[in-house]
Structure 1
Amino acid sequence: MTESATATIDDLRGRIDEVDAELARLLERRALLAARVQRLKPVGGFAGRDPKREQALVAAMAAHAPRLGAARLARIMSEVIEAGLDAAEAEAAHGRSAQQH
């Protein structure tokens, strides 16, 4: 590999690192908002997922990310949603545990 190719790869990887950091901040923000939604749901606690809302979300996102497309985004967002719910449940359980002490 030439020196200029290495410099270009390093530059691009640096830019990817910046995007990854931004993505992590956005995922954290999303998880916090989703946890608030879960607390407000009328059935109490963690009411689970809304498949219609998820489909609409993926369709809207696909318009902004055509390279990924709806099928790939559906897989990604399913994991993002599941991770957010898991984090909110763990946080709620920790809060209940702390209140009991």
Structure 2
Amino acid sequence: MTDRTTTAETAAAAATSRSTTGASTTGASTTGIDELTLALPRTASLATLADARAAIDGIDTAIAALLERRAAVAGVVQRLKPVGGFAGRDPERERLIVAAMAEHAPSLAPGHLARIVNAVIEAGLDAAERKNVQDHPDPAE
């Protein structure tokens, strides 16, 4: 019996091994930038349901790490903006984000991407608000 590791399993394992921090484990960065690398299996290489599911699991792990980092960066944006939180949303900026994403995801309809971006932005705003409350509890309570 041979030990066979598929491309999808390798991608899933690689994403999982780096997902604890959302960054590569290549060492500390002196530039203030962490790296996330992910082997993206070609769909033609996915021969079995297990291969395809392992590929999705690896991609989902990377997406989760990216969403966590995005929420953290969005928290910084909220602190830097003159009006933060939901009141400080910029519909034009959000439209530009959707348009830029559509260039990288042509098989997804812009309407679907708009809903995804909206959900990601709202989750990031909620996370920033929760962190702000944790960091600055109301002294009256």
TM-score normalised to structure 2 length: 0.62
CA root-mean-square deviation: 1.7
Give 2:57's aligned residue.
Answer: 17
Query: Structure 1 residue 49: deviation in Å?
Result: 1.0
| Aligned 1:49-68 pairs, distance under 5 A | 49-68=89-108
Q: Which runs of 5+ in 2 are unaligned?
A: 1-46
Q: Which deviations, in whole Å up to 9, do the C-alpha atoms of 1:5-60 show, x marking residues without a partner? A: xx7001110010000000000001111111000001123x4243110000000001
Residue matched to 2:113: 73
Gaps spanning 5+ residues in structure 1: where? 1-6
* Residue of structure 2 in register with 1:96 after alignment: 136
Q: Which residue of 2 aligns with 1:87?
A: 127
When the two structures are aligned, how many residues end up with a matched partner?
93
Overall identity of the aligned pairs, in %: 57
Q: Identify the residue that residue 37 of structure 1 maps to in structure 2.
A: 77
More helix by proportion, 1 or 2? 1
Partner in structure 2 of residue 27 of structure 1: 67
Q: Deviations over 1:37-94 (max 9, x none)?
A: 0001123x42431100000000010011011121110000100000000000011011
**Higher relative contact order by CA 8 Å / sep ≥ 6: 1 or 2?**
1
